[in-house]
Amino acid sequence: MRFFEIVLKYPKTVIGVVLLVTLFFGWHMRKVELNNSIEELLPEDHPSVLQDKELKHVFNSREMILIGVVSDDGIFNPTTLRKVKELTELAWQVTVTEPSDVRELERWGEELGGRYQQNIRNVVSDGLTVTDRGPVNNLLIEAKSDAGLEPRFVSFLEVLQLKLSPLSDVISLAEVDNITSSEFGLNVEPPMEAVPQTDEGLTQLAATMFSNEMFVNLLVSPDSTGALILAELSFYYDDHLDIAEQVFAQLEALAGPYRGPEKIQLAGVPMVNVYTTSYMSGDMAKLTPLVIVLVMVVMYLSFRMLKGVFIPLSVVLVALVWTLGVMGLLGRPITLIVAFMPVMLIAIGIADGIHLITEYKLLWAKYHDRHRAVIGTMHALARPVILTSLTTMAGFAALATSSLQSIKDFGIFTSVGVFAAMVVSLTLVPAALGLMKPPKARAGTVADQRTRLTLGLELLGNFAINRRRWVYVGTLALALLSGLAMTRIEVGSTMVGLFKQDSEITHASDMIKDKFGGIEVMNIVVDTKIKDGLKDPEVLESIAALQDTLESLGIVGYTVSLADYVKRTNLVMNGNDPSFNRLPRGTEVVMETEWVEQGGREVEVERPIEVSGRDLIGQYVLLYENAGGDDLEKLADFDYSKANIVVMIREDYTPILKNVMQTAQAFTTVHFGTDIDVTYAGCSTLCVVADDLLISGQLKSLGAAFVAVLILLTLIFRSVRYGLVGLLPMVLTVLLVFMLLSTSGLRLDAGSALVASIVLGIGVDYSVHFLSRYRSLRRAGLDFRDAVREAMATTGRAIVFNSLAVAIGFLVLLLSSFWPVIHMGWLVAVNMIFSAILAMVLLPAVMGSWKGEAEPVAAQLEPRIDVPVTA
């Protein structure tokens, strides 16, 4: 261990290097972003993610913000309608530029000079406003075609253009294409161009809205108490989270003055993400300092010296900075799951520091020599610190086998953090101890006294050995019960239901699902693989039937597809005859008028002829295109081979979403031929996929963790038997985790799924500590009873403190704003204690039977010490 001699010789250099590394990582830490989109959770190359990307691309679809306007007395009154109209118009005008954008644009003007400078001056003369949309667009087009220009200017302009027109479409009853026919001809215009002031006009508008099935449940609630404004972002929400947040803030500000008596609420998946991000930052800002303070208090109480507080604390804080720095360097965002890594790292990482300070105080009391005490401490603890860090890292690193990116990140970066804490513990701690004044000697206080706790632990060990049959029976029963309980665990998560608080978004989502079709969107893409394949009446008929099937589920509030547009056109083109409120059939009979000569005069005669329904559909579509509607673009691809069925679902609980998906799948397998591909996309689909991956990933990573831990334990003890024995309490603990999950009625979600891995990663340390101590005592010549008693008195005590410290650390998570995190907090806390108890009951019991060969089976390098069997 010459390493620590060197550290002690150059303590300032060591501290300096650690500080420099910390500064380096601290600098990269600033790049870490918060991101909560479902896309961030799923692997980029997952088929569903690719399908979703493809869908967004082919159908040019972006996330929507829903603005619900609800008036209990009904919306068809001039005041409410005026509000809907004005909000629609104002939404179009939303821009989110900041003063810094003006300054940056001016700076570019000065840099580029000439024509650019002149144009930029004209643009910014009155700040950046909605009237600058055109000129900024011109600047962008010019800059794009100018090859010699800095690419950064182009990307700045691209973002600026988004900020000037962040919404690509705003739809409401005042701004939507409605195709109608009257004696004056066909008309494509919004149902409400001017707010009707007369009763007659109001009744007329209501009739118009309800006569178009595509509007009901989308733009108007069936009970006419709600109107919806849909605002589509002009960019992918994920690409510009900051702009999206400002858009929401702007829309929220717009809605403010219009509230009362009407309730106006903003909802939609992007809104949920914004709320998640904001609560998450709140949580991090609240919980991280809290856990630090709590840990400081616990440490001060146990050491009664400030050094004992600050050294372990600096270990975890430095490790935290390194970890976040690595995340910044790798460009990984903080997601809801990763957000609680700091709290956890502090709870876990503090252990090394605590052990080191305890040992140092002990040795100082013994030697009264700083150098000897530090070296002695490090010699005694370097190995356990490294070993327990490795096992904990293995437990967390196993999460990297999960397919969910965010869980993967959580596992990897927690491992990185544990590793960093280990490195800092082995460098910064001895260097700092070497430099600092030694503690005031209070001889005797730290000597290992027989306290009531150690006495109790000894008794527990003894009990476990003597009543080991009970222990085995109890263990077996527990395992069986847990196995039984596990089968009842329900997997499911929700996005809106994440929030503990009775937040705006929960109200908004409730309102939307009560009044309208719901906020969860599932896209079903029907690919005929033939150009114009969608114009086949049979295909459209199947699509419409699929929609009917889904709508009959009740939970599906609204669906729309190309079929609805064709149906609507068929009705309108046939003079609003209700019998034509249907899709064209394969062959249709129409009346043809002909001019025939009769008695020397040309007269009109009608005769029925057969026409193809396919032609009819083709012509209806052309009619729509001619009317200038871009609506179809969202529902059919350019060559009419793929259709996008938009399905809106009232609940976002994943088992419900899955049921919708399975219903659709069952229908399409029967009713769609094999030539037609059906794929699922949209946020709901991704949620379902994430859930499926969660279970398989959880099983996979738990398996991997067990294997990794077993290998590590075997290597540490150079004995497969010791490895297996060490693993035993962990197997039980993990079983217990699932039992607790099931009996408390919690669902397996991204938060609770992590509990088993966390408990395994941390709890395995207890086995390592206990077995190491036990074996070294045996080697020192103690018989198994004495070895257990001694191990219980020393290591057992440390295990109790450690598990309590970790549990307390995790209990801080109870103050989180998110249900999954709260559940994770108490589940980990309870299971940490279980894990400690199991280690301290099971290991002595096993040792009672096995006695534990003091000598490794596999390795013959160490001298063999045979322990006489006494029992």
Partner 1 sequence: MNIPNRISNLALLGLLTGSLWAQQPTGREIMERYKAQDRTQDLSAEQTMTLTNSRGGERERRLTYVTRTDADGNRRMLVRFLAPADVARTGFLSIERSDRDDDRWLYLPALRKTRRIAGSDKTDKFVGSEFTYEDLDSEKLDLHEYTLIGSETVDGVDAWVIEAVATDPERLEETGYSKRELWISKVHYLVIQAKYYDGSGGYVKLFRATDIRQIPNSEKWRAYHMTMEDVRKGNKTTLQVLEYEIDQGIPDRYFSERYLKRGG
- Rule CB under 8 A: say whether 707 interacts with partner 1: no
- Rule CB under 8 A: say whether 579 interacts with partner 1: no
Put the strands of the sheet holding 167-171 in their side by side order.
167-171, 226-233, 64-70, 263-267
Cβ proximity to partner 1, 111 vs 577, nearer residue: 577
Segment lying near partner 1 (by CB under 8 A), choices 28-36, 606-614, 700-708, 798-806: 606-614
Segment lying near partner 1 (by CB under 8 A), choices 359-367, 612-620, 736-744, 768-776: 612-620
- Rule CB under 8 A: say whether 587 interacts with partner 1: no
Tell me how far apart the alpha carbons of residues 521 and 230 are, in angstroms, rounded to a whole number: 13
- Pairing mode of beta strands 587-598, 601-612: antiparallel
Per CB under 8 A, the list member of 131, 197, 451, 860 interacting with partner 1 is 131
Please give the helix or strand (H or E) that residue 681 lies within, else none.
Answer: strand 677-681
Contact 202, 115 (CB under 8 A): no
Per CB under 8 A, the list member of 347, 363, 365, 617 interacting with partner 1 is 617
- Rule CB under 8 A: say whether 141 interacts with partner 1: yes
- Rule CB under 8 A: say whether 134 interacts with partner 1: yes
Phi, psi of 67 (to 5 degrees): -115, 110
Phi, psi of 821 (to 5 degrees): -75, -40
Cβ proximity to partner 1, 567 vs 650, nearer residue: 567
- Rule CB under 8 A: say whether 10 interacts with partner 1: no
- Rule CB under 8 A: say whether 865 interacts with partner 1: no
Per CB under 8 A, the list member of 588, 692, 783, 853 interacting with partner 1 is 588
Cβ proximity to partner 1, 338 vs 616, nearer residue: 616
**DSSP symbols for 185-213:** EEEEE-S-SS---SHHHHHHHHHHHHHST
Q: Token match 């690919």: residue?
A: 527
Instruction: Give the shortest CB-628-to-partner 1 separation in angstroms.
Output: 5
Alpha-carbon distances, residue 197 vs 132, 259, 859 (angstroms)? 35, 21, 94
Per CB under 8 A, the list member of 1, 130, 477, 480 interacting with partner 1 is 130
Per CB under 8 A, the list member of 590, 699, 711, 871 interacting with partner 1 is 590
- Rule CB under 8 A: say whether 135 interacts with partner 1: yes
- Rule CB under 8 A: say whether 60 interacts with partner 1: yes
**DSSP symbols for 262-280:** SEEEEESHHHHHHHHHHHH
Cβ proximity to partner 1, 588 vs 692, nearer residue: 588
Please give the helix or strand (H or E) that residue 170 lies within, else none.
Answer: strand 167-171
Per CB under 8 A, the list member of 113, 114, 184, 578 interacting with partner 1 is 184
- Rule CB under 8 A: say whether 128 interacts with partner 1: no
Single-letter amino acid, residue 600: G
- Rule CB under 8 A: say whether 618 interacts with partner 1: yes
Per CB under 8 A, the list member of 330, 491, 611, 720 interacting with partner 1 is 611
- Rule CB under 8 A: say whether 535 interacts with partner 1: yes
- Rule CB under 8 A: say whether 573 interacts with partner 1: yes
Angle subtended at Cα 34 by Cα 32 and Cα 35, rounded to the nearest 5 degrees: 125
**Diameter of the chain measured on Cα atoms:** 133
Number of residues that bind partner 1 (CB under 8 A): 48
Segment lying near partner 1 (by CB under 8 A), choices 129-137, 293-301, 384-392, 440-448: 129-137
- Rule CB under 8 A: say whether 189 interacts with partner 1: yes
Cβ proximity to partner 1, 492 vs 537, nearer residue: 537
Contact 569, 623 (CB under 8 A): yes
**Peptide bond preceding 439 in cis form (omega within 30 of 0):** no
Task: Scan residues 619-658 and list those touching partner 1 (CB under 8 A).
Answer: 619-620, 622-623, 625-628, 637-639
Phi, psi of 344 (to 5 degrees): -70, -45
C-alpha closest to that of 7 among 379, 487, 491: 379
Per CB under 8 A, the list member of 83, 568, 614, 650 interacting with partner 1 is 614
Instruction: Give the shortest CB-685-to-partner 1 separation in angstroms.
Output: 21
Per CB under 8 A, the list member of 187, 197, 281, 860 interacting with partner 1 is 187
- Rule CB under 8 A: say whether 300 interacts with partner 1: no
C-alpha closest to that of 269 among 300, 316, 246, 237: 237
Instruction: Give the shortest CB-207-to-partner 1 separation in angstroms.
Output: 18
203-233 in b/e burial notation, b at 16+ Cβ within 10 A?
Answer: eebbebbebbebbbbbbbbeebbbbbbbbbb
Number of Cβ atoms within 10 Å of the Cβ of 870: 8
Binding region for partner 1 (CB under 8 A): 57-58, 60, 130-135, 137-138, 141, 181-182, 184-189, 532, 535, 573-574, 588, 590-593, 609, 611-612, 614-620, 622-623, 625-628, 637-639
